[in-house]
Amino acid sequence: MTPTLIEQESEIVGIARRARQAARWLASLPYEVRCEALAIAMALMEERKQEILEANETDCAIAEAKLAKGEISSAFFQRLQTSEAGIGHMIRQVRDVAALPDPLDKLISLTELDDNLILEKITCPIGLLGIIFESRPDIIPQVVALAIKSGNALLLKGGTEARQTNEVLVSIWHESMARLNGFPCDAINLLHTREDVQEMLHLDRYIDLIIPRGSRDLVRDVARHSTIPVLGHGEGICHIYVDQAADLQKAWNIVFDSKTQYPAACNSVETLLVHEAVAPDFLPEMCESLRCAGVEVRGCARSIALLADITPATEVDWETEYSGLVISVKIVRNCADALDHIERYGSRHTECIVTEDQDAANEFLQRVDAAGVFQNASTRFADGYRYGFGAELGISTGKLHARGPVGLEGLITYKYRLIGNGQIVATYTSGTRKFKHRSLSVVR
């Protein structure tokens, strides 16, 4: 509730309240105006490229000292650093979003409840979103583009290390919005401190959704403290089950790609489950190849009997997202065993079966409870760009609202519009009239 005495309002509450008002305006701007903001921002990023690079150099200089002291990792430093090519990539990301169709005011269903009493279910923006991310400044152009395209306002909180870069990037969006008459500039806001985040996570009166983008620890910490719904994913413990009817060459390709193509990704594989009938033919060569690629293999008792020099896998291994060059291997008696293991240890992210047996595949695809269930394809395909969404806001392992890779539609909800000419409920409860409930059309 807005405080009656406006003086009591904290700075963040003021920002959130104004952003919420801006969201209402943004939602009603014509599609062309929202697109124009993206077009101007792309041009400005090109124009103000030098300024972005200089700000990033300043950030990097400070971060370098932290790197030397071991306060940040070199991976962290690399994510912070941008370049001319990096800015080109940011511009392309905005262009990808610009190319997406308008997600607003789409009719989902239309029902004639009675004569001249029409119920429309129609898409609309969620409202005000809180985005929390770590060092990567390139998140800003993509997320702001997605938000403006979908009519949502933003509170952005980036990593302190990227502060200068983030400020220039946000100022570019403010300049773009300021050039458009009547564009609500309060829609996009950058917060600065950890305390800001703590306060933000409790503004459930103003903020509709929190999206943390970054490490597992960040997501877990945000989910634990937020009174606002959170869209994100905790863990990516993905499995590949190589069935007795697998084409072993396909299995080799898929496992190798899923583990080594980008091991830090949440959609890379952590545990390999192999049917006992094919384990002797498959595992020795597979594991040798993985080890040549620098992957440490940890195995169950049965796989140890088959493979030389591997570490025994413990209970902890089955529950671990390695996010690196380690894989655990388990030999199973059948598909049901594989399903039980996945049900027990999987994080509902992405699970794959390799098989030529369509019955086994169907059972797996039907029974596994995960955002993505794959047959004969690398787990690394679980990604918004590869799915063809044009942009990815993140991956959700929750089951409500948006599941799996989330594109623009993750920022959209719906409302019901009922258009009558004076109808009242008493007419229907008394039996004077009956509802028709005639579906007029479904566009989507």
Interaction residues for its own copies, span 141-200 (CB under 8 A) = none
Place of tokens 């306002």: 153
Which of 165, 188, 189, 175 lies closest to 50, judged by CA?
165
Which of 348, 323, 350, 211 lies closest to 265, judged by CA?
323
Distance between CA atoms of 158 and 197, rounded to whole angstroms? 10
Smaller CB distance to its own copies: residue 41 or 126? Answer: 126
What is the CB neighbour count within 10 angstroms for residue 191? 21
Residue count, binding to its own copies (CB under 8 A): 78
The residue from 4, 181, 432, 441 that contacts its own copies (CB under 8 A) is: 4
C-alpha distance from residue 427 to each of 114, 417, 418, 435, 437 (Å)? 11, 20, 17, 10, 16
Residues 257 and 380 sit within 8 Å (Cβ to Cβ)? yes
Site for its own copies in 399-428 (CB under 8 A): 399-401, 403-405, 413-426, 428
In sequence order, what are the residues at sequence separation of 6 or more whose Cβ sits closer than 8 angstroms to the Cβ of residue 133?
Answer: 139, 143, 156, 157, 158, 159, 212, 213, 214
The residue from 247, 276, 296, 357 that contacts its own copies (CB under 8 A) is: 247
The residue from 82, 111, 135, 397 that contacts its own copies (CB under 8 A) is: 111
Q: How far is the CB of 152 from its own copies (least distance, A)?
A: 11
Q: How far is the CB of 427 from its own copies (least distance, A)?
A: 8
Smaller CB distance to its own copies: residue 77 or 428? Answer: 428
- Provide the token pair at 439: 């579906």
Which residues are bridge partners to 153 per DSSP?
128
Site for its own copies in 286-325 (CB under 8 A): 315, 319
Q: Is 24 in the site for its own copies (CB under 8 A)?
A: yes
Site for its own copies in 347-376 (CB under 8 A): 361, 365-367, 369-376
Q: How far is the CB of 91 from its own copies (least distance, A)?
A: 21
C-alpha distance from residue 430 to each of 118, 166, 424, 434, 437 (Å)? 21, 61, 11, 9, 18
Q: How far is the CB of 395 from its own copies (least distance, A)?
A: 11
Smaller CB distance to its own copies: residue 51 or 257? Answer: 257
Binding segment toward its own copies, per CB under 8 A, in 137-145, 255-263, 272-280, 302-310? 255-263
Q: How far is the CB of 276 from its own copies (least distance, A)?
A: 22
Which contiguous run of DSSP H or E holds residue 241?
A: strand 238-242
Determine how β-strand 269-275 pairs with β-strand 238-242.
parallel
Smaller CB distance to its own copies: residue 190 or 200? Answer: 200
The residue from 53, 220, 221, 256 that contacts its own copies (CB under 8 A) is: 256
For the chain, how far is it from start to end, CA to CA, in angstroms?
Answer: 36
| DSSP state, residue 101 | P
The residue from 2, 50, 78, 83 that contacts its own copies (CB under 8 A) is: 2
Which residues are bridge partners to 8 per DSSP?
none
Site for its own copies in 200-219 (CB under 8 A): 208-209
Smaller CB distance to its own copies: residue 58 or 253? Answer: 253
Q: How far is the CB of 379 from its own copies (least distance, A)?
A: 9
Distance between CA atoms of 4 and 8, rounded to whole angstroms? 9
Q: How far is the CB of 11 from its own copies (least distance, A)?
A: 20
Distance between CA atoms of 8 and 23, rounded to whole angstroms? 23
Binding segment toward its own copies, per CB under 8 A, in 42-50, 58-66, 140-148, 394-402? 394-402
Q: Is 394 in the site for its own copies (CB under 8 A)?
A: no
Q: Is 129 in the site for its own copies (CB under 8 A)?
A: no
Binding mask 69-108 for its own copies (x = CB under 8 A): ----------------------------------------
Distance between CA atoms of 4 and 11, rounded to whole angstroms? 16
Binding segment toward its own copies, per CB under 8 A, in 23-31, 53-61, 64-72, 194-202? 23-31
Which contiguous run of DSSP H or E holds residue 146?
A: helix 139-149
| DSSP state, residue 105 | S
Smaller CB distance to its own copies: residue 254 or 287? Answer: 254
Smaller CB distance to its own copies: residue 10 or 261? Answer: 261
